[in-house]
Structure 1
Amino acid sequence: MSEWDAYADQWDSDERVIHYSQQAYQSLTQAINCDGLTILDFGCGTGRLTELLHPQAKRIVAVDSSEKMIGVLAAKNLPKAEPLAIGLNSSNSQPMHNTFDLIVASSVCAFLPDYQASLVLFRQLLKPQGYFVQWDWQKEAGDPAPGFTAEEIQAAFDQCLFKTISLQQAFTMQQGEDEVPVIMGIAQKRDQTGGCL
């Protein structure tokens, strides 16, 4: 059972979740034409971003480790979406290598146990010249809260053989009295083979 299962029933009605997914979608479609793409929504939750991308995509594989979150997405009956309740990793992803034009990870990467290992996996799953896009809380250097500095994302992209296309604040989210920035990283798969440098 995933720790996220407890949130599944209320996730789609949370105004913050709705706003975050809408802002992520808007920032994505301003940067990348998603028409006809085969997309992996990694850490999709209940599929808010999958729903928004669904009309344009050729196919969306939506994965999350929470069975309850995936159950909510599956109940939406999106014909081009394939919801999968799995913790995607190097041992179970082989059939999906070189499959995706685009991988999106919305508020996911800062919570992964090994960010760089995940980037290596994403490279394997992307087609040549495919794109990886992430949104995460932007933090200052030395801040212990979940999130990334732009420098941390840039270094990880470089180490894992991605070409950085864009790295910027995409939008902000209200948290109490504060406006918290969300950083968006867009990277493209380089031609080299292998894992991180």
Structure 2
Amino acid sequence: MSEWDEYADQWDGDERVIHYSQQAYQSLTQAINCDGLTILDFGCGTGHLTELLHQQAKRIVAVDSSAKMIDVLAAKNLPKAEPLTIDLNSSNSQPMHNTFDLIVASSVCAFLPDYQASLALFKQLLKPQGYFVQWDWLKEAGESTPGFTAEEIQAAFDNCSFETINLQQTFTMQQGEDEAPVIMGIAQKRD
């Protein structure tokens, strides 16, 4: 059972989650033409971003380690979406190598146990010239909150030999009295 299972029933009604997904989608479609792409939505939750992308995509594989989140997504019956409950890793991903034109990870990477290993896996899953796009909380150097500095993302992209296409704050989210910035990183597989 995933720690995220307990959030599944309320996730679709959370206005912050909906707003985050809409902002991520808008920033994505301003940067990349998603028409006809084969997409992996990694850490898809209940599929907010999957729903927004599925009309444009040729096919979307939506994966999450939370079975309950995937159950909510599967009940939406999106014709081009393939929801999968899986903890995707190097030992179970071989059939998906060189499959995807685009991999998206919305508010996921900061919660991964090994971000660098996940990036290496994503690179294997991408077709040549494919794109990886992530959105995460932007933090300042030295902060212990979940998120990344731009320098941390850049270093991770460099370590995987991704070409950085874009790395910038794209929107903010209201959190109480404060605004929390969100950084979007776009990397391309060049080999």
Which whole-Å CA distance do the structure 2 matches of 1:132 and 1:141 have between them? 24
Q: Give 2:127's aligned amino acid.
A: K
Paired residue secondary structure (2:8)? helix
Residues 140-182 of structure 1, C-alpha deviation per residue, up to 9 Å, x if partnerless? Answer: 0000000000000000000011000000001000000000000
Q: Hey, what does 1:49 align to over in structure 2? A: 49
Which whole-Å CA distance do the structure 1 matches of 2:56 and 2:26 have between them? 13
Q: Give 1:7's aligned amino acid.
A: Y
Is it true that 1:87 corresponds to 2:87 in the alignment?
yes
Q: Hey, what does 2:171 align to over in structure 1? A: 171
Q: Hey, what does 1:109 align to over in structure 2? A: 109
Which whole-Å CA distance do the structure 2 matches of 1:22 and 1:42 have between them? 16
Q: Give 1:149's aligned amino acid.
A: T
Which whole-Å CA distance do the structure 2 matches of 1:18 and 1:164 have between them? 27
**TM value normalised by structure 2:** 1.00
Which whole-Å CA distance do the structure 1 matches of 2:187 and 2:126 have between them? 11
Alignment of 1:175-190 (within 5 A): 175-190=175-190
**TM value normalised by structure 1:** 0.97
Q: Give 2:143's aligned amino acid.
A: D
Paired residue secondary structure (1:3)? coil
Runs (4+) off by over 6 Å = none
Alignment of 1:25-174 (within 5 A): 25-174=25-174
Deviation at 1:111, TM superposition (A): 0.2
- RMSD over aligned Cα atoms: 0.3
Q: Give 2:155's aligned amino acid.
A: A
Unaligned runs of 5+ in 1: 192-197
Q: Hey, what does 2:6 align to over in structure 1? A: 6
Unaligned runs of 5+ in 2: none
Residues 2-27 of structure 1, C-alpha deviation per residue, up to 9 Å, x if partnerless? Answer: 00000000000000000000000000
Paired residue secondary structure (2:82)? strand
Deviation at 1:67, TM superposition (A): 0.1
Which whole-Å CA distance do the structure 2 matches of 1:159 and 1:4 have between them? 29
Q: Give 2:81's aligned amino acid.
A: A
Which whole-Å CA distance do the structure 2 matches of 1:12 and 1:169 have between them? 25
Deviation at 1:190, TM superposition (A): 2.0
Residues 57-86 of structure 1, C-alpha deviation per residue, up to 9 Å, x if partnerless? Answer: 000000000000000000000010000000
Q: Percent identity?
A: 90
